[in-house]
Amino acid sequence: MAARDKRKADENNIMGKIVSLSKRRGFVFQSSEIYDGLNSCWDYGPIGVELKRNVKNAWWDYMISRRNDIVGIDCSILMSPKVWEASGHLKNFTDPLVDCKECKKRWRQDKLEDPTKCPDCGGELTEARQFNLMFKTFMGPVEDAGSVVYMRPETAQGIFVNFKNVQTSSRMKPPFGIGQIGKSFRNEITPGNFVFRTREFEQMEMEFFVPPAEDEKWYKYWIETRKQWYLQNGINPNHLRIREHEKSELAHYAKACSDVEFLYPWGWDELEGIANRTDFDLKTHQEHSGKDMTYFDEQTKEHYTPYVIEPAAGADRATLAFLLDAYDEETVAEGDTRVVLHFHPNIAPIKVAIFPLMKKDGLPEIAHKIEEDLREYWATFYDESGAIGRRYRRQDEIGTPFCITVDYDTKENNTVTLRYRDSMEQIRVNVDDLFETIRKEIKNYKPSFKN
Could you give the CA distance from residue 54 to residue 344 in angstroms, rounded to a whole number? 11
DSSP 225-244: HHHHHHHHTT--GGGEEEEE
DSSP summary character for residue 109: G
* Interatomic CA distance for residues 382 and 405, integer angstroms: 10
Confirm or reject binding of residue 226 to ligand ATP (CB under 6 A). Answer: no
Compare residues 51 and 313 and give the one whose CB is closer to ligand ATP: 313
Chosen residue from 99, 207, 261, 272 binding ligand ATP by CB under 6 A: 272
Based on CB atoms, which residue is closest to ligand ATP, 58 or 442?
A: 58
The number of angstroms, rounded, from the C-alpha of 116 to the middle of its chain's C-alpha atoms is: 34
Site string for ligand ATP, 20-59 (x = CB under 6 A): ----------------------------------------
Compute the least distance from the CB of residue 201 to ligand ATP, in Å.
Answer: 4
Which lies closer to ligand ATP via its Cβ, residue 62 or residue 402?
A: 62
Helix (H) or strand (E) holding 19: helix 14-25
Residue type, 103: C
* Cβ partners under 8 Å of residue 369, min gap 6: none
Q: Which stretch binds ligand ATP (CB under 6 A): 229-237, 269-277, 352-360, 412-420?
A: 269-277
Instruction: Enter the DSSP assignment of 383.
Output: -
Hey, which residues between 295 and 314 contact ligand ATP (CB under 6 A)?
A: 312-314
Distance CA(355)–CA(321), nearest Å, equals: 30
Which of the ranges 52-60, 97-105, 266-274, 410-418 carries the binding residues for ligand ATP, by CB under 6 A?
266-274
Which residue number, 154 or 279, has a Cβ lying nearer to ligand ATP? 154
Please, what is the minimum distance in Å from the beta carbon of residue 126 to ligand ATP? 21
| 316 near ligand ATP, rule: CB under 6 A | yes
Binding mask 178-217 for ligand ATP (x = CB under 6 A): --------x-x--------xx--x-x--------------
- For position 281 contacting ligand ATP by CB under 6 A, the verdict is no
If the CB atoms of residues 271 and 418 are measured against ligand ATP, the closer one turns out to be 271
Please report how close the Cβ of residue 352 comes to ligand ATP at its closest, in angstroms: 31
Q: Does 219 bind ligand ATP (CB under 6 A)?
A: no
Give 272 or 383: the residue with its C-beta nearer to ligand ATP: 272
Give me the residue whose beta carbon is nearest to ligand ATP: 314
CB of 391 to ligand ATP, least distance (A): 35
| Stretch of 98-106, 168-176, 267-275, 418-426 contacting ligand ATP, by CB under 6 A | 267-275
Instruction: Estimate the crossing angle of helix 46-60 against helix 315-326, to 10 degrees.
Output: 110
Q: Are 19 and 178 in contact (CB under 8 A)?
A: no
CB of 141 to ligand ATP, least distance (A): 31
Of 203 and 305, which CB lies nearer to ligand ATP in the complex structure? 203
Nearest residue to 358 via CA among 407, 402, 403: 407
The least distance separating ligand ATP from the CB of residue 91, rounded to whole angstroms, comes to 16
Instruction: For strands 336-341 and 380-382, give the pairing.
Output: unpaired
Q: Closer to ligand ATP at the Cβ: 265 or 273?
A: 273
How many whole angstroms separate alpha carbon 15 and alpha carbon 127? 33
Q: Which is nearer to ligand ATP, 198 or 417 (CB)?
A: 198
Exactly one of 174, 273, 311, 356 binds ligand ATP (CB under 6 A); which one? 273
90 CB burial (10 A radius; 0-12, 13-18, 19+): middle
Residue 115, SS3 per DSSP: coil
Q: From the CA atom positions of the chain, what is the Rg in Å?
A: 25
Helix or strand run (H / E) with residue 138: strand 136-138
User: Binding string, 121-160, against ligand ATP, x = CB under 6 A?
Assistant: ---------------------------------x------
Nearby residues of 197 by Cβ (< 8 Å), 6 or more positions away: 40, 188, 190, 191
Find the shortest distance in angstroms from Cβ 365 to ligand ATP.
46
In DSSP terms, which residues pair with 66 in a beta bridge?
Answer: none
Helix residue ranges, H only, 162-314: 163-170, 215-232, 280-289
CA separation for the pair 410, 430 (Å, rounded): 9
- Whether cis (ω within 30° of 0) applies to the bond prior to 175 is yes
CA 326 to CA 329: how far, in whole Å? 10
Span from 17-25, 271-279, 327-335, 441-449 in contact with ligand ATP (CB under 6 A):
271-279
- The separation between the first and the last C-alpha atoms of the chain, rounded to the nearest angstrom, is 28
By CB under 6 A, residue 317 contacts ligand ATP? yes
Residues that bind ligand ATP (CB under 6 A): 154, 186, 188, 197-198, 201, 203, 270-273, 312-314, 316-317
